[in-house]
């Protein structure tokens, strides 16, 4: 599938310097240690946020738009077949990732969360939200071990800023975190089974966003 993509720059002007003159800025990972803020939720769930983890990622964004074999999906809902409102690609365990920066990002997450997670991040789910009509409805990532075990889902966000909303499954107020160009958000602890998350549709005119979700083996 070819994806219509109008080149637009998301990086702030500071990121656009190219001192080495090697033909344009490219993505770089910042440190994680000491830069991640943990928000403790109820019932053993938490969310870590690291704004601006990847800098200079305009080109990475453009590469992923064109290089990832995005596909549309249809799902049956209430007896009707409906289009899933985003494009998708799932990189299973051991499937090569589409960009070396993503390999580096996964290593950095493995190092940072090694002690707490006790295993590596393995798969990478990717979503492409073309505009504000694209979304993901309320859900937990509870296919597999995450339905019964604590785990982590680490999301790298590129492109247009959207909000990742969260609400407790038992009812109660929802909260939301902005997820902007180069930001990292990690859902951890019991978050997948005690809370739900969503990227809700917006009437605001918003550009495209890519979400990359790194998950351990058997979590989906
Ligand atoms: O767009 C996002 O960052 C969230 C995607 C998500 O929740 C999922 O694919 O399970
Ligand atoms: Fe999810």
Residues 71-111 pLDDT 10s: 999 998 888 999 999 999 999 998 999 999 999 999 999 99
How would residue 2 be classed by pLDDT, with cut points 50, 70 and 90?
low
Residue 103, pLDDT score: 97
CA dist., res. 18 & res. 70, Å (int): 30
**Model pLDDT, residue 153:** 98
Helix, strand, or coil here: 37? strand
Distance 104 CA to ligand 2 centre (A): 22
Per the listing, tokens 């999301």 go with 155
Give yes or no for residue 140 having a pLDDT over 80. Answer: yes
Cα separation, 24 vs 19, in Å, equals 9
Q: Are 133 and 160 in contact (CB under 8 A)?
A: no
Q: How far apart are CA 65 and CA 87, in angstroms?
A: 10
Spelled out in words, what is the top-level CATH class assigned to the domain 27-216? mainly beta
Is 218 in contact with 152 (CB distance < 8 Å)?
Answer: no
pLDDT for 26 equals: 85
Ligand 1 and 124: CB distance under 6 A: no
Cα angle value 70/208/22 (rounded, 5°): 85
Query: What per-residue confidence (pLDDT) applies to 42?
Result: 97
Shortest-distance ligand to the CA of residue 177: 1
Euclidean distance between CA atoms 208 and 61, whole angstroms? 10
Residue 136 CB–ligand 1 contact under 6 Å: yes
Residue range 151-208, pLDDT digits in tens: 999 999 999 999 999 999 999 999 999 999 999 999 999 999 999 999 999 999 999 9
ipTM above 0.90, yes or no: yes
Pick the residue with more confidence: 22 or 15?
A: 15
* Cβ 86 under 6 angstroms from ligand 1: no
| Average of per-residue pLDDT values in the chain | 92
Give the tens place of pLDDT for each residue, 28-68: 999 999 999 999 999 999 999 999 999 999 999 999 999 99
Residue 96: how many other CB atoms lie within 10 Å? 8
Instruction: Select from 91, 136, 143, 158 the residue to mutate for testing ligand 1; criterion: most ligand atoms less than 8 Å from CB.
Output: 136
């Amino acid at each position: 599938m070819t994806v219509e993509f109008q080149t637009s720059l998301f990086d702030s002007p500071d990121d656009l310097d190219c001192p080495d003159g090697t033909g344009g800025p490219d993505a770089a990972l910042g440190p994680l240690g000491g830069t991640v803020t943990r928000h403790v939720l109820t019932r053993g769930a938490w969310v870590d946020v690291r704004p601006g983890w990847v800098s200079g990622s305009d080109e990475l964004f453009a590469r992923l738009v064109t290089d990832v074999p995005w596909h549309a999906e249809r799902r049956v809902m209430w007896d009707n077949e409906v289009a899933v409102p985003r494009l998708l690609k799932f990189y299973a365990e051991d499937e090569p990732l589409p960009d070396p920066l993503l390999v580096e990002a996964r290593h950095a997450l493995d190092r940072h969360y090694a002690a707490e997670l006790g295993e590596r991040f393995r798969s990478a789910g990717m979503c492409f939200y073309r505009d504000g009509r694209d979304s993901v409805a309320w859900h937990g990532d509870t296919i597999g071990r995450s339905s019964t075990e604590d785990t982590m889902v680490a999301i790298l966000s590129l492109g247009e800023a959207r909000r990742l909303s969260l609400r407790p499954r038992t009812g109660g107020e929802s909260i939301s975190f902005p997820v902007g160009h180069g930001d990292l958000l990690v859902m951890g602890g019991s978050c997948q089974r005690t809370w739900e998350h969503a990227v809700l549709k917006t009437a605001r005119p918003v550009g495209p966003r890519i979400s990359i979700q790194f998950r351990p083996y058997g979590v989906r």
